Amino acid sequence: MSGHRVRVVERVAGRLQLRFERRVEPGTTLDFGRGGSVSIGVDPLDDKVSRRAAVVAALDRGWRITPMNRSGVVLHLWGLAPYPVRHPETVGWHRVGVRVLGTPGMEHWILLEDSADYTAGVDSATTSGTAVSTPPQELTAEQREAVGLVFAQLLTWPPTVDAQVLLIKQAATRVQRSAAAVQARLDGVRAKALALGLGRMSELTDPEYLYVLVRAGYVPLRPEDVDPLLA
């Protein structure tokens, strides 16, 4: 069976609801919108969503996304920085959130999930095609815990709109450890990102080094990061 799965979820009044779910084979094309073959923005009605908001085609490797929504479309590749798209784009990533913009306070998501091995992250010995002679070791359990605390909102599925980073002192309080202990763990995490090609010494609460590690497969999605509705 294909590893491609498409889901539509919408958050209204703070409540996430699953509207559509289907496994698809490569070559399948779905049309999303108020008047599309897959409805989005209709219950309750959001007239800021176009009748044809986006077209998604499942490829052998990844997805082809064509944005058409007059209010805009934003791509949220899991664990990476979101960005608006205005032209057709091909993406290969294990979790892609397509946010169809509408009325403020309402969220409309097309969630594209692909379990194929090629989406698991760049080979740990490379980043952006640059060879790394000695790739760093995987994150320890303590380092992954620190990352999951400080960057929790950046690692949720579905993505969190306007995700915020937790302060190190706040993260330390939550796990009843010292701020120095959490900082030391993040120092080690950042060092691994530098070894993978991070271009500058970023602050420990700057997600730039997180994005490098996510792309390289060092920060996988955990079950606790997934909303129970999608588990």
Peptide bond into 88 cis (omega under 30): no
Over residues 97-104, the mean pLDDT reads 97
Looking from the CA of 137 toward its CB, the CA atoms found within 13 Å total 6
Residue where the block lists tokens 């664990």: 79
Task: Assign 128 a pLDDT band (cuts: 50, 70, 90).
Answer: very low
Backbone angles phi, psi at 117, to 5 degrees: -60, -35
pLDDT of residue 119: 56
